Amino acid sequence: MPAASIASLRRFTEAWALRLGLGTPDAGGWGISVTWATKADAANGLISDEDAGSCVWMIEHREANIYLNKRYAADLAELHLTIIHELLHIRLEGHLPRAKRYDPHYEHAINYLSGALRALAESNPGDK
């Protein structure tokens, strides 16, 4: 599989944001930026070095930033799963108390759903 370009990852994110009902900013939906994480992002605690990606979202503004770890640039499949995972966090916002920002059971469920949704999408020809 070829290394991921940020442009192709942004197109992938847009397609999956639509698929998950997050919409587009011009239609009142979410604005979601996708960037390679910088050293400053890591220093600010936005992403840990082991993670393929992370996401920060502001529900009141319908804006989110997905940070991807460039160490995973050669692993397109992992980056795609990570993007679906982060978009599911946005989709499910409100289903976990704000005070509990990390729950391993919740993360495990999102990982499972990410894989199942991707497999379902890939099994439908013409529906990438």
Q: Which one of 12-20, 27-35, 103-111, 114-122 is the stretch in contact with Zn ion (CB under 5 A)?
A: 103-111
Pattern of binders to Zn ion over 59-88, x per CB under 5 A? Answer: ------------------------------
The amino acid at residue 106 is: Y
Distance CA 77, CA 85 (A): 12
Which position's Cβ is nearest Zn ion? 107
Name the minimum Å distance from CB 110 to Zn ion: 5
Q: Which one of 10-18, 34-42, 44-52, 107-115 is the stretch in contact with Zn ion (CB under 5 A)?
A: 107-115
Beta strand 63-68 pairing with 53-58: antiparallel
CA angle 77, 80, 86 (to 5 degrees): 140
Name the minimum Å distance from CB 55 to Zn ion: 8
Distance CA 103, CA 124 (A): 32
Contact flag: residue 107 with Zn ion (CB under 5 A): yes
Distance CA 71, CA 51 (A): 9
Residues that bind Zn ion (CB under 5 A): 107
